Amino acid sequence: MSIHLSSGGGALRRVVLSCDMTGCPVQLEPPAAERWRSDSDARSWAREQAVGWTFDAVRQTDYCPEHAEFSTVPAGGVVAPRPTATARDRDGNPLNRNEYADLLRARLTDGGRSPGGTLTTAQAAVAARLLDELAGVYRGESLGALASELSVLLDSQFAGRD
């Protein structure tokens, strides 16, 4: 969210809400607030005017109606949505990381060897280190476990080759 102060004595305070979902370009400018409002008061007022928008007070993030689910606290025992950073569905929405891991795992078991070329030892080592980094970022999640397993597989397949 950003606050824009207009110049001039009686000008109103403009507040622009921006969706904090990665890659979402949606912004909303509710009606301007009175100039006398403090920044926090203007933010609160703007959020009250933004129908369908949600606010996560813990992370200090705003979400448009399409991504509102990412600011809600899940019920006990329910895992919060975990959107992927780059993988999207056909509509352009982020995939759930656990579902994405399942999709990738299925692709590994359904596929065989690719008809293309093979990796060099150096390429396999770099890919394994990138997978280790991914596993560290998503530690404790199925996507992280898959990355770790593939890293070990690459290391074992290419160990000792040059």
Query: If you write DSSP's letter for every residue of 30-99 in order, what string do you get?
Result: PSPBPTTS-HHHHHHHHHHHSTT-EEETTTTEEE-GGGGGGGSPPPTTPPPP-EEEEEE-TTSPEEEHHH
Task: Provide the whole-model pTM.
Answer: 0.48
The predicted structure's pLDDT at residue 75: 63
User: What would the two tokens of residue 122 be?
Assistant: 């150096």
Walk along the chain (162 residues) and give the pLDDT tens digit of each residue.
Answer: 545 544 445 667 778 888 888 788 888 888 777 777 777 777 888 888 888 888 887 778 888 898 888 776 656 666 666 788 778 888 888 888 888 888 888 887 776 556 667 788 888 888 999 898 888 888 888 888 999 999 999 999 888 765
Enclosing H/E stretch for 128: helix 121-137
Q: What is the per-residue pLDDT for 5?
A: 46
Q: Of 55, 59, 77, which is closest to residue 68 (Cα–Cα)?
A: 55
